[in-house]
Structure 1
Amino acid sequence: MNGVQWLDDYQDAVVARLLEIPWVVTAGLYPDIPAGFASPAVFFNVASWERAERELGGNVTLNLTCEIYILRSFMAGEINQEEGDPEVLVRNAALKMSDWIHGRQFGPCMAPAVMVSAEPVQWADNDKSTYASWAITFNQLLAVGTDPFEVAGNPTAKEFWFGIFPNIGPKHKDDYELVASAKEGD
């Protein structure tokens, strides 16, 4: 299976799904945060990656470490006393997001997300904290690049033969065993 070609493809898919959450007012990529954004807000970040221990396809499979930041404003104009304390609201949202992200996939070339942790974070806005904020960390395996066996125009193998050294090569054609063969019409 071919993987994503660009990190933007993955990030855009995640942000699109975050925007489908009913309580999310603002969603985007960290650190590209718009000034004066409305809350509650969620921002997505791919913090790091390393080569995965198992392959999903593509040219390489990466194990991404990702973060979702949830923010709720402390600003008087944005606090609804009926909803409650922003700290409590963000903590509850972090719990729901932890459940929401675990097992989620954002396309065909990835494994289900694995929720790792959630914790409060200090969110600085002009050197003063005006947001209650939590970060949810998760890992996700992502196939990247073109699978060398799925390149358009490459011939498709119709048969698979097995030979045992030293009886291999053109002179030992009759020593090979047919292991698999494509069905008629494949």
Structure 2
Amino acid sequence: MELRTFARGFEISETVESYLDEKLEKVRRALKDYVGREGMHIEARFDKDGPYYTLRLQMHFNGKDIVVQEKANDVYGVIDAASDSFEKAIKKEREYYKSHHKANMKGTIEALAEELTPKYSLEDEEYEQIDSVKRVFLRTVSLEEALEQMEVMNHAFFVFRNAETGELNMLYRKNGKYGLIEFEE
């Protein structure tokens, strides 16, 4: 993961830059599963205003910009404070992402699907090709969440209401890739 540093009001020495890199090692460890993603980098912006140093750390992670800004009397103090706050913010986002998008979604959908009973009887001869009927709730989710849900459930398709457009969509798997059908009402 690349570290990009910028400074305004003073020059960043090699010592300061290596100290910052060392302090951000905890962040890299927290992101070990995500480090291989293309384009992931941490942006560090130093600013000296009078006797105070300000450090702004920023990173784009899981579709969100995580930004932390700290102020201190010396450059090493601001690095310590900002790196600790940044590590906490990254861990918080990582835990939120794990708990809300993987385990909880899988358990909720499966529990709801098991509890619901079919509305129709398939005893008629004209419907003998249909093996079973399940009734599930139509969820309103973003496209990213629908992809995650499909992966978790390992289904061939997923029908949902798109949170951004409000339209009914169907996501399906075809030859290792995904397709999206947008229904018009």
Q: Given the two structures, how large is their TM-score scaled by the length of structure 2?
A: 0.32
Q: Given the two structures, how large is their TM-score scaled by the length of structure 1?
A: 0.32
Task: Name the structure, 1 or 2, with higher relative contact order (CA <8 Å, separation 6+).
Answer: 1
